[in-house]
């Protein structure tokens, strides 16, 4: 199947999942997760109506942003971010979904303040207690709230998670939604987004409240 057909099918499935959950499908955004995907395929996805894309590596992302700058696309950063790449990420991506530590949050804050902006971020939560995965363990997130809140260079939009591979994702999506609800008042009305759900579990994520779906293989095919 082609990219256009894939996107069409995904849209239909999202709509059905949203209706099952009594949600408005219009509040759910599809992000094309484009690591290893060449610019030509991103162009095809654009022609099929996609506008938002997520990249995992700064250098790879910058190349594609450059090659596709004739199109009105929005790129978010969704990968592991090293401190020394923060400046480039802030300058070239319009949001970071993978703010995985207080240290990284502070670094983004200082770059954003230098530029006189407040920069849109999602805090990544590591719900599976997986050592191999990045993200705030929930208890660390809660104990960092006050410091996170005190960083004026950040504009916190919500939370992001990746459930452990091979497990039922639903309890993890539920948990992320509960954490969002618990801390919502801390960050104010703009803090309402749930970045969760990928190719194999986006319908479950929609049922549990996702607002940003990060979808790669189901749109672009298997990565090579």
Ligand X SMILES: *Cc1c(COP(=O)(O)O)cnc(C)c1O
Smallest gap from Cβ 200 to ligand X, in A, equals: 6
- The answer to whether 81 touches 106, Cβ cutoff 8 Å, is no
* CA–CA distance, 126 with 212 (Å, rounded to integer): 17
Beta strands 95-99 and 74-77 are parallel
Rounded CA-CA distance 62/39 in Å is 11
Nearer to ligand X, 102 or 198 (CB): 198
- Toward ligand X, which CB reaches closer, 107 or 214? 214
Q: With respect to ligand X, which residue has the nearer C-beta, 23 or 76?
A: 76
The values of phi and psi at residue 200, to 5°, are -90, -10
Interaction site with ligand X (CB under 6 A): 33, 35, 56, 78-79, 162, 198-199, 214-218
Q: What's the closest the beta carbon of residue 190 comes to ligand X, in angstroms?
A: 22
Nearer Cβ to ligand X, position 125 or 215?
Answer: 215
Cα–Cα distance measured from residue 184 to residue 178, given in angstroms and rounded to the nearest whole number: 10
CB of 24: closest distance to ligand X in angstroms? 23
Least Å distance between CB 146 and ligand X? 27
């Amino acid at each position: 199947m082609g990219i256009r057909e894939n996107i069409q099918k995904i849209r239909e499935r999202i709509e059905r999942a949203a209706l099952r959950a009594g949600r408005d499908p219009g509040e759910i955004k599809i992000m094309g997760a484009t690591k290893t995907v060449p610019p030509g395929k991103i162009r095809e996805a654009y022609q099929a109506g996609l506008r938002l894309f997520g990249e995992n590596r700064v250098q790879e992302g910058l190349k594609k942003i450059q090659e596709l700058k004739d199109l009105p696309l929005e790129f978010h950063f969704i990968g592991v971010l090293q401190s020394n790449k923060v400046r480039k990420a802030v300058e070239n991506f319009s949001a970071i979904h993978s703010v995985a530590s207080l240290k990284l949050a502070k670094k983004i804050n200082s770059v954003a303040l230098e530029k006189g902006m407040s920069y849109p971020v999602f805090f990544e939560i590591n719900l599976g207690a997986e050592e191999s995965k990045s993200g705030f363990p929930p208890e660390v997130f809660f104990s960092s709230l006050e410091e996170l809140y005190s960083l004026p260079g950040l504009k916190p939009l919500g939370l992001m998670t990746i459930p452990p591979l091979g497990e039922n994702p639903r309890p993890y999506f539920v948990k992320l939604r509960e954490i969002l609800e618990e801390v919502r008042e801390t960050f104010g009305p703009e803090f309402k987004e749930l970045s969760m759900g990928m190719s194999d579990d986006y319908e479950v994520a929609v049922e549990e409240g996702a607002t940003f779906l990060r979808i790669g293989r189901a749109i672009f095919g298997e990565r090579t």
